[in-house]
Amino acid sequence: MTDILLELDHVARYFDVSPPWLNRVLERRGRVILKAVDGIDLAIRKGETLALVGESGCGKSTVARVIVGLYGPTRGSVRYQGVPLAGEGAITDGRRLRQTRRGMQMIFQDPYASLNPRWRVADIVAEPLRAHSPELSKAKLDARVAALLAQVGLAAADGSKYPHQFSGGQRQRISIARALSTNPAFLVCDEPTSALDVSVQAQVLNLMRDLQRTLGLTYLFISHNLAVVHHIADRVGVMYLGRLVEVAPTHELFAHPQHPYTRMLLDAVPDLEMTGKARTAVAGEVPNPLDPPSGCTFHPRCPNADERCRREPPRLRPSAANGGEAACHAVAEGRLPPRTIALAVA
C-alpha cells in the first residue's frame, strides 16, 4: 500500500540473559534467552497515530527501540517508506541509511533524564542539526533553533538556559523541539506524558495533536494510560508478553473489545458510572517472560481458555466485530459472547 510509512515484518528481539560461562558449566545450565518481542507484524499509515498498550514488560518500549535503531532485530525486518532499515535485506549504504533514518525521531519518557543537564537548551535542540546538516552556518542554525522553540510554545531567549531551569512540561517541549529539528515524518513517543502532572499532560498532548495537523506527522504512541490513548490514537495495538493480541480502530476497540486481555484492561479503568457494580479485575500475574506458557501465553489468566489455547499459539485474524484483528482461539471459534463497553475515558 502506498500510504504505508512504516512496516514491521515478523520482528523479534531476544536478549541473552544467561549467567557467565563458568557458572553455566559448574551448574550444568544452558543459555537463558529473554524473548522481549516475539514476532510482530505491524503497518503504520502516513498521518495516523498508532498506540501500543499493555502491562509493564510486554515489549512496547523494545519495539520502539528496534524501530529507531537502538536495538537490532533478532529476526524480521523494519521498513521505512519501503526502505529496509534493519534485519533481513537491510541496506548497507551508510549514507543512504543515515538519510532515511533522519525521517524518524524519538521522544523519551522522562524529560528529566533525556536532556543533558550540562548543555544549554539551544545546544540540545541544535545537536541533531549539527549531526545531519553540518554545512549549516551559525546564523541559520540559531534561526532554526529559535523557530523550533517558538513552535513548541517556548521563547527564543529560553535557548540560553539550562534544563534544570524548566518545569517537567517545559522540558518535554524541549524534547519535542529537538525531535522536530530534522523535519521528521515519523515520531516514536515512548510514554511522553507519564512523568507529567495531569494538567501538563493535556497541554503536551494538545501540542502534539496540533503539530501533527500542521506538519503531517505520524506517531507511534506508547502508553499505559488508556484515557490518553483514547484521546490521541487512531488505532490501538494491545501487547502481551512480546506479542500483539489485538489491533483495532480506537473507538471500535474501546466500544467492542474482542480479546479477553483487552476486555480485562478496559474493565480495570476507573469509571464513575460503574461505582458499586461488580468488576472483572485483571486476574493473576504476568508469567515469567524467561519461561512463558505454551500455546497462547495469556491462557493461565484467561477464563475462556481450553485445551487448544494451552497447546496452539493463536495468530492475528480479522475480526468483523470491530474491524480489527485479534489473536484468540475463543474469538475465532465464536466462544466469547459479544461485548459492548460504554466507557467514559475521554
The pLDDT of residue 275? 54
Q: State yes or no: pLDDT of 142 exceeds 70.
A: yes
Confidence of residue 341 (pLDDT cuts 50, 70, 90): low
- The per-residue pLDDT for range 108-121, each reduced to its tens digit, is 988 888 899 999 99
- The per-residue pLDDT for range 61-111, each reduced to its tens digit, is 999 999 999 999 999 999 999 889 988 788 888 888 888 888 999 999 888
Computed over every residue of the chain, the mean pLDDT equals 89
C-alpha cell at 71: 536495538
Q: State yes or no: pLDDT of 1 exceeds 90.
A: no
The pLDDT of residue 194? 84
Of residues 273 and 124, the one with the higher pLDDT is 124
Confidence of residue 346 (pLDDT cuts 50, 70, 90): very low
Q: CA 1, CA 187: separation in Å to the nearest integer?
A: 20
Give ∠ CA 207-228-174 in degrees, rounded to 5: 35
- Domain assignment present for residue 27? The answer is no
183 Cβ neighbours under 8 A, 6+ residues apart: none
Confidence of residue 337 (pLDDT cuts 50, 70, 90): confident
- Domain assignment present for residue 38? The answer is no
Confidence of residue 161 (pLDDT cuts 50, 70, 90): very high
- Contact yes or no for 246/327 (Cβ under 8 A): yes
The pLDDT of residue 283? 63
Domain that holds residue 278: 239-346
Q: CA 232, CA 41: separation in Å to the nearest integer?
A: 22
Q: Which helix (H) or strand (E) holds 13?
A: strand 4-16
Q: Helix-strand-coil percent breakdown of the chain, rounded to 5? A: 35, 20, 40
- The per-residue pLDDT for range 183-218, each reduced to its tens digit, is 999 999 999 988 788 888 889 999 999 999 999 999
The pLDDT of residue 278? 59
Q: State yes or no: pLDDT of 316 exceeds 90.
A: yes
Q: State yes or no: pLDDT of 38 exceeds 60.
A: yes
- The per-residue pLDDT for range 275-308, each reduced to its tens digit, is 555 555 556 777 888 889 999 999 999 988 999 9
Write down the residue that cell numbers 506524558 correspond to. 193
Domain count, the chain: 1
- Domain assignment present for residue 307? The answer is yes
The pLDDT of residue 36? 94
C-alpha cell at 243: 506479542
The pLDDT of residue 98? 83
User: In percent, how much of the chain has pLDDT > 90?
Assistant: 66
- Domain assignment present for residue 313? The answer is yes
Across 4-8, 199-203, 320-324, which has the greatest mean pLDDT? 4-8
- The per-residue pLDDT for range 227-255, each reduced to its tens digit, is 899 989 999 999 999 999 999 999 999 99
- Domain assignment present for residue 269? The answer is yes
Full 3-state SS string of 129-178: HHHHCCCCCHHHHHHHHHHHHHHCCCCHHHHHCCHHHCCHHHHHHHHHHH
- The per-residue pLDDT for range 13-24, each reduced to its tens digit, is 999 999 999 999
- Domain assignment present for residue 183? The answer is no
The model's pTM: 0.89
Pairing of strands 4-16, 33-45: antiparallel
Write down the residue that cell numbers 535503531 correspond to. 69
- Domain assignment present for residue 259? The answer is yes
- Domain assignment present for residue 255? The answer is yes
C-alpha cell at 233: 490514537
Rg (CA), the chain: 22
Report the SS3 class of residue 111.
coil
